[in-house]
Structure formats: structure tokens, C-alpha cells
Amino acid sequence: MEEMKQWIENHKRILQKAANALLAFVVGACLVFMIHPVKTLPKDRLLSLSRMQEDSQRFVASSSKDPTLEDLLSLELGREEGKTQNSWVTLSAFVKKFGKAASFTQEDTSFGAQVQLGYGTPVKGLYPYTIEFQKQGDAFYVSSIQGFAPKSAHYQSKKNLKLADFTDYKPLDGKKEKGTSVEEVLNKSGLPNSLSLTSTKDKQVLALSYQVTDGLVSLTFERDQSGQYRLTKKG
């Protein structure tokens, strides 16, 4: 009988210690969460993530078509400075013209809010076309275009090109030479391996690169007031 009482007494102490330890843990945990609350995304951030998801559904499809080179060259890009122009192309207008993209990303950069659309079938994670849109006021406008192995309805790729095949192209010199047009280059040398279309404060610049059998050719064009791209630099 004495042994039974002793056993109960010992277990009372154990249970009491366990209860005290549990109480201390609960109180400590409450203090931790009061002093260092669990971090959650702010309400405006949650709303922006929800908006991004909605936008991606509006602008993205399971597959997308490659825009043609000539259609892209017909666009006037938005610029960082100055008033917006009616000729600039908004995000919605671009998707309406070229169809939905294969990918959609949106981020805040040092230059402001930016959207990127990827078109075509990705190669090693890279889309053949990346279209960037910069926010101006309440809308996003096309600000730059990057692409490789561009497609065209009028021009074809040509094989076995050499550096010598590009010697006849003359850059604009501001005097006698008007600069070879991009159409002439595309007709004679075919489609480039890559292209870049960007804008500065007062210029819209097109850069084409060709991988030839004996080197690499880089051609830079500027868009004139008539919308024609003229060669300004060759390297």
C-alpha cells in the first residue's frame, strides 16, 4: 500500500512538472508572436499578385505564334521621356494584333513598372521573342523587342554567307550617303540570326547580327521620319 502511495506521489510531481513546462512553452510562444509577429504579405501586395494572375490569363495562351519581322519593324516604340503618342502600341493592342503570348512576367524596376511577353517555342528556357512594355501613365507601351531566329512572310534565311557579302552596304554619313535600307539587306542577305529593337530619347534603333562562315556581322539601323530604317553602323 505504501508503495502504491509513493508511486502516485512521484507521478503527481512528474505530471505537475510537465504541466508547468507546457504552460511555460505556451506563454513563451505567445510572447514571441506578440513581439515578432509572423510576417505576411501586405494587402496591396496580395492585391497586385492577384492582379498579375488575372493579367497573365488575359495575355497568355498554351501556345503562341511568332510575330513576323516586318510586322515588328512597323511598330513605333514608346520612350521613357515625353508625352505618350497615339502611335505607341499598348499591351492590349499588341496582344490583339499578334495574339496571346506563351509567357507573362511583371516586375518593378528602377525604370518603373515593366511587363515582358515571351512568344514562340522556348529553346533552353529562352523564347524566340521577348517583348518589353514600360508603364507610362495608366498604360503599358511596347518599349523594346529582342529576338533570335526571326520569322518572316517575305524573307528567307540564307546559308554560307561571308563577310564579303556585306561590303556593299553603306552607312548613313549625313552627306552623300543615305544609308542602305534594311529591306535591301534582308533581300540580299536574308534573315539575321538575332535582332534588337530599342528606343532612346529621339531615336528608334534596330540592330541585326549575322553569323557568317568567317566571322560575325553586326548592322545598326536608325528609323527616319518616314518610318524607314537606314544603316548607320556596320561592324
Is the pLDDT at 186 greater than 80? The verdict is yes
Per-residue pLDDT band for 218 (boundaries 50, 70, 90) equals very high
Total length of the chain:
235
Count of beta carbons in the 10 Å neighbourhood of residue 120: 23
pLDDT at 53: 58
Q: Which domain holds residue 54?
A: 41-151
Single-letter code of the amino acid located at 124: K
Contacting residues for 21 by C-beta, under 8 A, at least 6 apart: none
- Please provide the average confidence, as pLDDT, over all residues in the chain: 79
| Residue 165 belongs to some domain of the structure | yes
pLDDT at 54: 64
The helix (H) or strand (E) run that includes residue 29 is: helix 2-35
pLDDT at 201: 76
Q: What is the mean pLDDT of residues 103-108?
A: 88
Distance CA 234, CA 86 (A): 33
| Residue 182 belongs to some domain of the structure | yes
Q: CA distances (Å), 75 to each of 37, 105, 197, 198, 229, in order?
A: 50, 21, 10, 11, 12
Residues 136 and 175 in one domain: no
pTM: 0.74
How many structural domains are present in the chain? 2
Residues 161 and 198 in one domain: yes
- 31 by Cβ neighbours in 10 Å (0-12 / 13-18 / 19+) ranks as exposed
Q: What is the mean pLDDT of residues 156-160?
A: 93
pLDDT digits (tens, 9 = 90+) for 17-60: 444 443 333 333 333 333 333 333 344 433 344 455 566 678 88
Domain boundary residue among 99, 118, 151? 151
Is the pLDDT at 183 greater than 60? The verdict is yes
Residues 137 and 186 in one domain: no
Set of cell numbers at residue 73: 519593324
Domain boundary residue among 116, 151, 186? 151
pLDDT at 225: 87
